[in-house]
Chain A
């Protein structure tokens, strides 16, 4: 089917398309002796990972993605292909904020393909996205899930950066995530902010500057979990330094989506982190994430 739109196809692997890539990364995580390890790893150009590390004794492996170039430029094209095999668990994060500079040559594009096997688990906790004046950025993620796998993806989008201090001076930011399960789409999450179409008003950011999102697909995400996540998110939003709004809903398959609006990366990140910590404790007995990057 072509339902995946422009990113569609089962052939979206980096293999064979990499010639024009600014950076490529492929990672395959397997479960060996009770611990998750990289069984295959490939990188090329301006994309690589740091040495894996472990944040707790759960067996989960953590990889930090690094962009040695420091930021995305016009017409840059990055491709990531990550597989988490049956029973394995991966935490994927970034070393620093994703910065997208001016893109007069055309949008910077990040394509990511994520595949999870039976009982596999993936958490992604990237730093915030910062788009500079006149930047255009398209992030296109396609996920293939097994009904028993567990996925938790987060994103934070800032109002960007401008030398004059103006907010939303970028041209367009699109974060599109299509989640498939056994060939059927179960979530199409398409956050598109194009400041010329209006950004601050009613319905869009409601006067806030930062957007956060947390997407979970997991067979254990039932009504009880939804209610607990809602309470946690609302409490975290009330505890923010600035005004913040958070809301949660459930998907057509077991899973949930949390949306957050706030006025700083810290506030929005706190709401996402509190909910992620709640799920880590509930489902995996893991402590809250403590990513020491700086």
Chain B
């Protein structure tokens, strides 16, 4: 593209949308990504609390920088790739949800991050019984019930999305967005920030989510689970931090 301020052409739609109204999965996806969905995400900061504690994050710009780092690594090189694997879009990582589950447990090195993923994942699997039923998520839930899988959040989310028929790139955006929304809500409480500042941070995240999805779609199997040492150190140190608001 030449230099200058010409606006980018709008991206083509991922699939034919109905002439009127919205796709059949639309309201279910809104419910799935709503921060009111009781998955327990409000109890987890995924290492952010360590940065609040150390004084590295004290206001909205610091929060935005931390969210960028989290989006660029955990959400892009791990969670988004799990979603691609479960949509059959990234061969060479894991052949089945059970294999993906075991590999994700192995890839989430900081203990609290592993525990958070399973805790929220099992809550979502419970909710899927009544609200988001489908064959893929039901099979995974059975494996978790039988003790053969751990039950990770991003796997459950991906399988619900697949059962609903949500296109891959829509679900990737929805996943990143719902995670960022709950992190920002937690930060509004913990930093603390005003609600309007929280929304400014989220607005800034919008183009970054697009960039994250573009990157995730271009990554290869060898990138799965790539981590950032600084984030991990904060997540590990949180295990024995005094005076905690969050479980991770």
Contact = CB atoms under 8 A, between A and B. Distances in A.
A203 B114 contact: no
Given A1-B94, A202-B69, A259-B233, A179 B226 contact: no
A103 to B, nearest CB: 16
Interface stretch (A12-20, A190-198, A273-281): A190-198
For the complex, would chain A's binding face be called helix, strand, loop or mixed by DSSP majority?
Answer: strand
A289 interface: no
B66 A202 contact: yes
Interface string B44-76: 000000010000100000100110111011000
Given A187-B109, A203-B66, A192 B223 contact: yes
Contact of A252 (B106, B112, B234): B106
Given A187-B106, A250-B111, A251-B109, A205 B229 contact: yes
Interface residues of A, number: 44
A138 B69 contact: no
A42 B18 CA distance: 65
Contacts of A178: 106
Interface stretch (A119-127, A163-171, A241-249): A241-249
Contact of B230 (A176, A197, A202): A202
Contacts of B100: 3
Interface of B: 51, 56, 62, 65-66, 68-70, 72-73, 77, 91-95, 99-100, 102-103, 105-107, 109-112, 114, 220-237, 239-240
Interface of A: 1-3, 5-8, 138, 140, 174, 176, 178-179, 184-192, 197-198, 201-206, 211, 213, 230, 245-252, 257, 259, 261
28 contacts: A3-B93, A3-B94, A3-B100, A5-B92, A5-B224, A6-B221, A6-B222, A7-B222, A174-B222, A179-B106, A185-B106, A188-B107, A190-B77, A190-B224, A190-B225, A192-B77, A198-B72, A202-B51, A203-B70, A204-B228, A206-B233, A230-B240, A245-B233, A247-B234, A249-B110, A257-B109, A259-B229, A259-B233
